[in-house]
Amino acid sequence: MNKTGKKHYRRVLSIAGSDPSGGAGIQADIKTISACGCFATTAITAIVDENTIGVTDVHPVPIQFVKGQIRSVLDDIGTDAIKIGMLQSAELVRAVKDTLSYYPDIRNIVLDPVMVATSGDPLLEKSAVETLKHDLIPVSRIITPNLPEAEILLGEKISADKMADAARRLSDACGGVSVFLKAGHLSERILVDYFYDAEDRELLSMSSERVFTRNTHGTGCTLSSALASFLALGMTLKEAAINAKKYISNAIESGAGYEIGHGHGPVNHFFSPKPI
């Protein structure tokens, strides 16, 4: 309840690109945030021409307009957490960081370092990688790289048996941010994600059995939005990581039996998740 006696939504702002096919980006974020019991607001960074097969083109939203969307939401509605997804250029990365600096009380910032789409198409300019690493990641609370993204950020290959160490070293290399390192790109039947809580200096391994499906479009967007949602609900980093892992695993499993599009279909965001 707030001062007027009215109920209060837990709010999550997604700063990301738009996917017209509905499986990734802003569209996946809104679905995930809603499914997890929070109120979704958005700031669209780019309009992406894509579908389940691949990305055809990217139309960046003017940077001043992106900054305006963020300010409009935060000055009026506020937020309990922020999820940051596709930021195409170094200039945009700096603009988002500078805009968020005016709201220092917002601690729950989850950054998905989106670099490549599920289809393999690039979504981040090479010149923006270092800016992301040195400007925006250090002001985030947690990042959610997959293995290829972690390898780019660390500048080295990461094997399955080195993931735990890589999560710790990536945290150190990026200003002490917590790291949720995803194993989905590995070929193992049992996938083990690693969450390094930089605040408690605790490493958590979370395993799940691989679901053999091509419906994996937007899994990174979905996981990071679930993390932000659970943080907005007041969970600790560890609790949020465990519940986000459970959410994405169930969403993938539930969506495996559907067919939509001719490529990588989406997960099922509305499988009635219940936090543990």
Q: How do residues 65-90 score in pLDDT, each as one tens digit?
A: 999 999 999 999 999 999 999 998 99
Rounded average pLDDT over 226-240: 98
For residue 117, pLDDT beyond 90? no
Predicted pLDDT of residue 129: 85
Residue 60 in domain: yes
For residue 223, the domain's CATH number is 3.40.1190.20
Kindly state the tokens that stand for 54: 């691949």
Q: How many domains does the chain have?
A: 1
Residue 270 in domain: no
Catalytic residues: 182, 216, 218-221
For residue 50, pLDDT beyond 50? yes
Residue 113 in domain: yes
Residue 100 in domain: yes
Q: What is the mean pLDDT of the chain?
A: 92
User: What is the per-residue pLDDT across 91-113, written as a single tens digit (0 to 9) for each?
Assistant: 999 999 999 999 999 999 999 99
Q: What is the C-alpha to C-alpha distance for residues 6 and 9, in angstroms, rounded to an integer?
A: 10
Predicted pLDDT of residue 274: 52
Banded model confidence at residue 119, pLDDT cuts 50, 70, 90: low
Residue with token string 């270092």: 130
Predicted pLDDT of residue 32: 98
Residue 274 in domain: no
Q: What is the C-alpha to C-alpha distance for residues 90 and 98, in angstroms, rounded to an integer?
A: 12
Contacting residues for 65 by C-beta, under 8 A, at least 6 apart? none
CA of 137: how far to CAs of 22, 41, 64, in Å? 27, 21, 21
Q: What is the C-alpha to C-alpha distance for residues 219 and 248, in angstroms, rounded to an integer?
A: 7
Q: What is the C-alpha to C-alpha distance for residues 167 and 78, in angstroms, rounded to an integer?
A: 31
Rg over CA atoms, the chain: 17
Residue 163 in domain: no
For residue 53, pLDDT beyond 60? yes
Residue 213 CB burial class (10 angstroms; 0-12, 13-18, ≥19): middle
User: What is the per-residue pLDDT across 22-31, written as a single tens digit (0 to 9) for each?
Assistant: 999 999 999 9
Residue 101 CA neighbour count, 13 Å, CB half: 9
Banded model confidence at residue 123, pLDDT cuts 50, 70, 90: low
Q: What is the C-alpha to C-alpha distance for residues 268 and 256, in angstroms, rounded to an integer?
A: 8
Looking at per-residue pLDDT, the higher value among 58 and 4 belongs to 58
Predicted pLDDT of residue 276: 46
Under 8 Å between Cβ of 138 and 176: yes
Q: What is the C-alpha to C-alpha distance for residues 94 and 87, in angstroms, rounded to an integer?
A: 10
User: Which residue range(s) make up the domain with 229?
Assistant: 11-142+215-255
